[in-house]
Amino acid sequence: MVAIKRELNLKLLEKLKIKVKNLKKEITALYYAYQHPKTSVLPKIIILFTLGYALSPIDLIPDFIPILGYLDDLLILPVLITLSIKLIPQEIMEESKEKAENQPLQLKKIGFLL
């Protein structure tokens, strides 16, 4: 029984690692789409907000609040990424994804100086 639980936890952990890796690629692709000269103003604004939210250490709901603290990361960020991708023309997004795959960035959380 313990071995089965351990195996399930490892599978869940592996799936989570894959999702995090894909999320990093999507964020990097959004960064490259933002820099693309053919990306219009509205997608750039949404991308900027999405990147700011993804990289900011400040959350709408602090992570120390049980369950709710992680809900914003699990719900809001994927919605923002999806919205950003839908606003970007397909050829620009494909080009940006390819660039993100070949030239990954080391994106770090940004802090605000007060």
Query: How high is the pLDDT of residue 2?
Result: 67
Query: How high is the pLDDT of residue 112?
Result: 41
Query: How high is the pLDDT of residue 77?
Result: 84
Query: How high is the pLDDT of residue 114?
Result: 33
Chain segment 15-38, per-residue pLDDT in tens: 777 887 888 889 999 999 999 999
Query: How high is the pLDDT of residue 56?
Result: 80
In the chain, alpha helices (H)? 2-35, 41-55, 68-87, 90-102
Chain segment 66-111, per-residue pLDDT in tens: 777 777 777 888 899 999 999 999 999 999 999 999 988 765 554 4
